[in-house]
Structure 1
Amino acid sequence: MTGSNQQGNLQDHSDLSHGVCLGFDTRAIHHAFDPAAFSRAVQPPVFLTSTYGFESVAANDAAASHGGRLYAREYNPTTEILEQRLANLEGAEAGLVVTTGMAAFGTLILSLLSQDDELVVHNTLYSNTVAMVEQGLPRFGIKVVPVDLSEPSNLDAAITDKTKLVYFETPVNPLSTILDIAAIAERAHGLNVKVAVDSTFASPALQRPIEHGADIVLHSLTKYINGHGDTLGGALLGDAETLHMLRETGLRYITGATLSPHSAFLILRGLKTLSLRMERHSASALAIARMLEAHPAVAWVSYPFLESRSIARKQMTQGSGMLAFGLHSGFEGARTMLDRLQLVTRAVSLGDTDSLIYHPASILRARQSIRKDAHLIEGVGEDLVRLSVGLEDVSDLIADLRQALQVL
């Protein structure tokens, strides 16, 4: 709860709407911040403090007894603006921001699950999430059950009385395939199990899983929501009771993964242009996906808004900037193509203004020299190339990809 001395700081500009719900972009710019409370500053200040003073011992006691704002691990005014704004855009009751997307996953799982509990996941996940569910969670006595959730009825056999959560990504990293949120949520809820969705590839500008039945949404804020490749962050969004528990257990004493106020400021800045950026990312990615689909060197392309993807069009407004493809020339062809690129940057992240390309199998082979157990995740072949389409002129990106594919 917000202390009385901060109530004026976090107004949502509802008085500007005259009873009409404000649009997504307006809320992305204004929600939860009132410049009048900060000497008319248009941008939210960055609060660089590790603790908070109180007017009296009694006030300190009152704050402590009501879960008040005592220490910057659990609360900062800048991060609170970000949490409230993200929750509003996602259609959630509350939000929690942390240092990275992996910190968000760790906070979620280690807060909600205990020894002997079970977690059902889709059989393809982000590689570091795979490491967590394969290597980390079993150490704590948590059983992980991988399931092909492209067929939601598979949940019927996977869920037991020990299952506490179903977790999946859509679009799926790095395949850019789509899972049906509503169908999965309906099955899970019918068996009294909550659903958490990693919606990083889409962002709330394109997809809001809570509207389709999900209980909790996870984002790597590092990616599209920040959008500029200059800071890390993660977010969890959902009902107020669950989010309060994630803050009071996960953040306070399990992970302690507090997002810095400066990072929160940068992410708030990026959030203001999210919708505009996602339109450009999506339009360019669709044009590139169609070019690659027609190219003789390309064996296959996966992009959510290619014509056959009906589920994507049901739950997303556009296809986002992520696509995957494979070449007829396989592993060696992918390496040759990446080395020939002149404009697209070879890098492992995504969602930046710059276009970034990544060949998982090459990185895997390098890692196996120091980690013998490293392996490609389910569904990812040695030919797969992941492309994060940036904001450059799409004609320049297409020309660069064409020349890189020319010799294959």
Structure 2
Amino acid sequence: MDDQSAPTLDTLTVTEGEDPFERGSEAGDVVSPVHLSSTFALPGLDAEMRLEDVDPDAGEFVYGRLSNPTRHALETRLAALEGGAHGAAFASGTAAIFTTLLASVRPGDHIVAFEDLYAGTRRMLDDVFRARLGVDVTYVDATETANVAAALREETAAVWMESPTNPKLALCDIAGIADLVADREVVFGVDNTFASPYFQRPLELGADVVVHSTTKYLNGHSDAIAGAVVTDDDALAEEIRFLQQVGVGAVSGPFDSYLVLRGTKTLAARMARHEANATAVAEFLDARPEVTDVYYPGLPDHPDHELAREQMSGFGGILSFELDGDIDDAKRFVEALTEFTLAVSVGGVESLIELPAAMTHEPLSPAEREALGISDTLLRVSVGIEGIDDLIADLERGFDAMARSAEPPSTER
């Protein structure tokens, strides 16, 4: 490789932000230490010094909410993984989204959002931004870019997308929407949690800002709650930093930052295995008569398959599918599984399954769920990195449980 060539993402996940001889490491730690101190000693009192002038890149720290060496290493790495100039680590993905939107809109403004968003994000938009902050919100089927165009108004200040979405794995044309708002004073944000920067880099497609629940794939081990924002926009980054450190203060703590930093080291290896397993599971489910629909961008009959091939480098490790039955069948199916754990969240090395209508999307009304196509038998699966034969055998146990429930009662005495 040429000396001037930028490191690949596979390398950045392991090394970026953790130079053993930078940022005051006395022992030459290969792994960033967990800096638990809430405050940092100053070499002297400089009347000219202002807190906003303290530079973590130069190893300068004052107070843990403003910056922390462990968190700063993580923020440096996350920015590099998304190809952005600025990274900010938060206490959760929800805090990251809230802060980004708060930095982007004011009362009287308008947001255009993908209708198939994570239910928690929809509740935030409805119950906080619309109800309390006076920001109007329009939800659209963003699989058609024309629907986004039709919803834009003079007062539109932000366009908020997920791609792929939760839980139906729908995609929007990120580059197409970026072109649509390029000449407007609009912040275009993309939640990239489901794809991870390993499979998709929205900033390179024209988005202004990208967010993650780093709880998911970036950490990858289901043992830390955290979030992140990455942007190339200097002014937006400054506003997000102010809100992160002062206005909201929802920063990622040192230990969670350490766990996510550690998790990113295996991102490339994990994502390749997640995708391989998810593809095998999707193809298995697609062939089952008990399944009416499988939603996975890697399947050729997925409506957004070609778009996924264009704007992603892989199809990810999450899928959802519809059972041919009722909610009792869905319950019997999930309760018969032993390898797939019944739990919310995604992106860990272990396989998880959930029933959105009764779990992640239960806060939505039945009418809202129906409008989004979230039925009582829709199951979402986060496919882990276990042996694929074990996972397929476990799903067969679920189908066997459904079949037993459908058998007529015995008349033998």
TM-score by length of 1: 0.91
Q: Deviations over 1:269-301 (max 9, x none)?
A: 110000100000000000100000000100000
The aligned counterpart of 2:225 is: 232
SS of residue paired to 1:175? coil
Amino acid at match of 1:24: L
Q: Count the aligned residue pairs.
A: 388
Amino acid at match of 2:62: L
The aligned counterpart of 1:144 is: 137
Q: CA deviation at 1:103?
A: 0.5
The aligned counterpart of 2:53 is: 66
Gaps of 5+ in 2: 56-60, 404-413
Task: Identify which of 256, 268, 272 aligns with 2:261.
Answer: 268
1:51 aligns with 2:45: no
Q: What does 1:207-226 correspond to in 2, within 5 Å? A: 207-226=200-219
The aligned counterpart of 1:330 is: 326
Q: Give distance in 2, aligned partners of 1:318 and 1:312.
A: 8
Task: Identify which of 108, 133, 140 aligns with 1:116.
Answer: 108
Amino acid at match of 2:81: L
Q: CA deviation at 1:50?
A: 1.3
Amino acid at match of 1:243: A
Q: Give distance in 2, aligned partners of 1:361 and 1:40.
A: 50
Q: Give distance in 1, aligned partners of 2:123 and 2:52.
A: 39
Q: CA deviation at 1:155?
A: 2.3
Q: CA deviation at 1:374?
A: 9.6
Q: CA deviation at 1:17?
A: 6.9
Q: CA deviation at 1:214?
A: 0.8
Q: CA deviation at 1:372?
A: 7.8
TM-score by length of 2: 0.89
SS of residue paired to 1:300? strand
Q: CA deviation at 1:192?
A: 3.9
Q: Give distance in 1, aligned partners of 2:329 and 2:393.
A: 18
Q: Does structure 2 conserve the Cα–Cα contact (< 8 Å) formed by 1:87 and 1:94?
A: yes
Q: Deviations over 1:309-336 (max 9, x none)?
A: 1111111111111000001113222111
Amino acid at match of 1:393: G
Amino acid at match of 1:224: Y
Q: Deviations over 1:339-395 (max 9, x none)?
A: 111211000011111100000122379x67xx9899537232222100000011011
Q: What does 1:331-346 correspond to in 2, within 5 Å? A: 331-346=327-342
Task: Identify which of 287, 294, 298 aligns with 1:301.
Answer: 294
Amino acid at match of 1:47: H
Query: Which consecutive segments of 4 or more residues in structure 1 shift more than 6 A?
Result: 371-374
SS of residue paired to 1:102? helix
Q: Give distance in 1, aligned partners of 2:181 and 2:146.
A: 10
Amino acid at match of 1:32: G
Task: Identify which of 381, 390, 401 aligns with 2:384.
Answer: 390
Q: Does structure 2 conserve the Cα–Cα contact (< 8 Å) formed by 1:331 and 1:361?
A: no
| CA root-mean-square deviation | 2.0
The aligned counterpart of 1:6 is: none
Shift of the 350–267 alpha-carbon distance from structure 1 to 2, 3 Å rule, reads same
Q: Does structure 1 conserve the Cα–Cα contact (< 8 Å) formed by 2:158 and 2:187?
A: yes
Q: Which moved more, 1:217-226 or 1:304-313?
A: 304-313
Q: Does structure 1 conserve the Cα–Cα contact (< 8 Å) formed by 2:103 and 2:236?
A: no
Q: Give distance in 1, aligned partners of 2:151 and 2:367.
A: 26
Q: Give distance in 2, aligned partners of 1:173 and 1:373.
A: 17
Q: Give distance in 1, aligned partners of 2:365 and 2:185.
A: 39
Gaps of 5+ in 1: 1-15
Q: Give distance in 2, aligned partners of 1:364 and 1:176.
A: 15
Q: Does structure 2 conserve the Cα–Cα contact (< 8 Å) formed by 1:153 and 1:187?
A: no
Task: Identify which of 196, 202, 217 aligns with 1:203.
Answer: 196
Q: Deviations over 1:10-57 (max 9, x none)?
A: xxxxxx972222121111111122112422211011111112222222
Shift of the 304–65 alpha-carbon distance from structure 1 to 2, 3 Å rule, reads closer
The aligned counterpart of 1:311 is: 307
